[in-house]
Chain A
Amino acid sequence: MRITNHPILNFPEDRKRLTFVFNGKKILAFEGDSIASALHAAGYRMLSQSLKLHKPRGFFCAIGKCSSCEMEVDGVPNVKTCLEPVQEGMVVKSQLGWGTFPVRPKKRVYHRVKIPVKQVEVAVVGAGPAGLSAAIEAARHGARALLLDENHRIGGQLIKQTHMFFGSKEHYAKVRGIDIGTKLAEQCRDLAVEIAADCSVIGYFHPHELAAIEANRLLKVQAQKVIIACGASENMLSFEGNDLPGVYGAGGIQTLMNVYGVMPARRILMVGAGNIGVIVSYQLLQAGVDVVAVVEAAPTIGAYQVHASKLVRCGTPILTSHSIKQAYGVESVEGVTIVRLNENWEEIPGSEQELDVDAVCLAVGLNPAAELFFQAGCKMSFIPELGGNVVWHDENMQTSVEGLYVAGDVAGIEEASSAMLEGRLAGLSAVESLKTTTTVIQQQKEQIRQGLHALRTGPFGEKIRIGEKKMREANPA
C-alpha cells in the first residue's frame, strides 16, 4: 500500500510508472522505487528463503547492511534489492540457495583493467550530517574535497527524519531533518565539493588510499587527509521469530515510509522506547499505521519526555518493563507475544499477552560502523556508553593514524546536532594541517568545542560524557 495523504511529505500520484516481473507476476512500481519497496507496496514481504532451512526472508535494514533482501535480478544472484532501483522490464526472482553466476567462462580469462584514480586533498566518507559538515568546512577553507556515499541519496539518516530537530539555532533547531540534509547538500554544491553518490568505500590503505565501488567498478581515491563519517548500523534483538519478514529495523521502516512512501504495515508493535523508537512510532502514526504499543524492557522510558508524551496522547501506550517474547506467522509476521519483566529483567510467567499485528519494528540501539578504522589499524576501544567499538580520537577528531579523522555517529552514537559539530571540527582540523592555521580557524574550532560541551551538559549528556572520558583515557599508543 502507498501513503497518499501525509502531513509532512508529498508523494505525488503522477510519478512515472514502471513495470517489472517478480516470480512471473507483473508488478507496478514508481520511478525511484527500489525493488524491495515496490514489492512491499504490492504486498509481497517474503523476498527469498534462507540457505539451509529455507525459512522466509524479507527486508530488514534498507541500507544494504543486513543482506536479508538478496534476490536474483536479471539473472544476477545476491542483489541487495533494498538498494537496487527498479528499471522497466526487470526480471526479479526469489533466490533459492547460493545462486549461480549467469556466465561461466570455460577458460579463465583475465582482462587488464585500468583502475581509475581520483586525487583529492580531503576525502570524506559518508554524506550524513557529519560528512556533509566536514566537506563544507574543508572546501570553505580552500581544500579540494571529495564526498563519497554508498546511498544514492545524500544526507545519511537525515533523509528520513520528518520531525523538527532539537538544538539551538546554530544547529538548525526546529528545522525538519529532511530539510537540514537538503540545506547542507546545497552548501556542498555551492562550494564545489565533488560528490560521488552510489559509491561504497570498501577499503582503506596506508597512507590515505581508499578503495571504492562505483557503478560496479573499482575506484581508487588518493587523498592527503581522510575523514570517515560513515554512521552506524542497527542492533538486532534475539527472540523467537526475529527472522520473519515483517520484523524490521527502525531505519528500514523509516526508509520504506518516508523515502519511498510505502505503508510498511497496518498494525505494528514497536520494541524500544528510546528516542528513535518513540519518534519512529509517531512517524508511523503520521503515515496511517496503527502502532499498537511500544514495549521497553527497562523500567523507565529512555526517550525525552516530550517525545514520549506526544506519542502516548495519540493513544499508543508505552509499556515499560515489557519485552517481546515471540513473533509468529507462516510467511511473515501474523502476531506477537509480549511479556512483562520483573526488576531483574526476567520474564514473569503468566504475564504473556498476544497482540494482533502484522509487523514488528526494532529500535534497540545503534552501533558505530567502525570497520574501516579497524582496517586502518587505528587504536580502538569498546565503550558501551558510545554504542560499541569506537576509534580513539583527539580534540581535533584525529585518530591514532595521522591524517585520518572521524566524525559523527561512528565516533560514538549521539545526535545529528553533535554530528554536524564534530564534522566541522574534523573538516577544520584537516585543512589546518593541510595548509596553515589561521586565527579564524582557531576561533571557530574553539566555538565548536564549546558548542559540543553545551550539548553534552544535563542528564541526557551523561552517557556521552562518561564515554568520551573513557575514550580519551584509553592510551593511543
Chain B
Amino acid sequence: MSQYLRDGVLDLDDFELPSKQRREKGRVIIIECVQEIPCNPCSEICPRNAITIKGDITNIPQVDFEKCNGCGICIANCPGLAIFSVNESLGQEMAEVGIPYEFKPLPETGDSVDLIDRAGQVVGTGTVKRVLQPKSYDRTALIYLMVPRELSLQIRFFRKSLKSGNKKKS
C-alpha cells in the first residue's frame, strides 16, 4: 500500500516529474494529484493545452512538459492546490519554486522564510521572489520562492522565519 494513504505525504516516485533537462530550460509545472477524483479544471484552463485528462473526468491529469511554459495559471486554479512549479535555469546555487498559497498575511518580496517540505518539516531557508494575486486567481496567491537548488523538488510550503519550533510529526 502506498505510504501517502497512511500519512498524506507523497513520494517523488508517486507522480511524474519533468526531466532534469526540461527543468534546466526554465519554469515548468509539477502536478501532485495521483488519485482518480472527479475533477478537471487544470486541463480546461491551460492556454497551451499542456494538461490533458483523457476520457472520464476521474482520470489522472497528464502533462506535456514540452508544451508547458510555466505561466502559472493552472497553479492558482487547481482546487486541490496540487500544482507547483520549478525552475532550475537560474544558476548552480538556487532554484525557483512556485506554490499556491491561501493564508494571511501574505509574504512580501524579499522576506526570508523557513522552507517546508511535503511532510510539514522545516528543511532549509530561502527568500520570497514574487507574490502574485491577480483578481483572476480568485483569492489564491501564487508565491515564487528562491530555494537552495538541492531542495528544488522538496519545498511545498513556507513560513516567515521568526517562529521557531515547528510542530513535530509523530
Contact = CB atoms under 8 A, between A and B. Distances in A.
Interface of A: 5-8, 163-169, 173-176, 285-286, 292-293, 299-301, 304-320, 353, 415, 417, 454-455, 457-461
B77 to A, nearest CB: 5
A307 to B, nearest CB: 7
A312 B4 CA distance: 10
B7 A317 contact: yes
Contacts of A176: 138-139
Interface string B112-139: 0000111110000000000000000011
B80 A310 contact: yes
A169 B44 contact: yes
Contact of B58 (A308, A313, A314, A458): A458
Interface in B1-27: 1, 4-10
Taking chain B's interface residues, is the majority helix, strand, or loop, or is none over half, making it mixed? Answer: loop
Interface in B60-78: 77-78
Contacts of A417: 38
Nearest to B60: A458
A8 B7 contact: no
Contacts, number: 154
Q: Nearest 8 A-B pairs (CB), nearest first?
A: A306-B80, A458-B58, A308-B8, A164-B79, A458-B36, A315-B120, A166-B39, A312-B8
Nearest to A307: B80
Contact of B34 (A174, A292, A305, A315): A305
B105 interface: yes
Contacts of B44: 168-169
Nearest to A165: B79
Contact of A311 (B5, B8, B105, B116): B8
A458 B119 contact: no
Contacts of A5: 104-105
Contact of B102 (A7, A301, A309): A7
B138 to A, nearest CB: 7
B137 to A, nearest CB: 11
Given A304-B80, A309-B4, A460 B116 contact: no
Contacts of A311: 8
Given A173-B39, A417-B38, A313 B6 contact: no
Given A301-B8, A454-B38, 17 more contacts: A5-B105, A8-B139, A165-B79, A167-B40, A168-B41, A168-B57, A174-B78, A305-B33, A305-B35, A306-B32, A307-B80, A309-B4, A309-B8, A313-B119, A314-B120, A318-B8, A460-B36
Nearest to B35: A305
Contacts of B139: 7-8, 176
Contacts of A307: 80
B104 A315 contact: no
B96 to A, nearest CB: 18
B41 A169 contact: yes
Contacts of B102: 7-8, 286
Given A313-B119, A314-B120, A458 B4 contact: no
A164 B10 CA distance: 22
Nearest to B116: A313
B57 A164 contact: no
B81 interface: yes
A309 B82 contact: yes
A417 B169 CA distance: 34
Interface size class of B (residues with CB under 8 A): 35 or more
29 contacts: A5-B105, A168-B40, A173-B41, A174-B79, A175-B138, A176-B138, A293-B170, A300-B5, A305-B10, A305-B35, A306-B80, A309-B8, A310-B80, A310-B82, A312-B7, A312-B9, A312-B119, A313-B117, A313-B157, A315-B167, A317-B169, A353-B170, A454-B56, A454-B58, A457-B57, A458-B37, A458-B58, A459-B35, A461-B58
Contacts of A163: 79
B103 A167 contact: no
Given A173-B41, A313-B120, A286 B56 contact: no
A173 B79 contact: yes
Contacts of B32: 306, 309
A273 B35 CA distance: 16
B166 interface: yes
Contacts of B79: 163-166, 173-174
Most B C-beta atoms less than 10 A away, residue of A7, A320, A417, A455? A7
B8 A166 contact: no
A461 B38 contact: yes
Given A309-B4, A309-B32, A318-B8, A173 B58 contact: no
Nearest to B41: A174
Contacts of A292: 167
B120 A306 contact: no
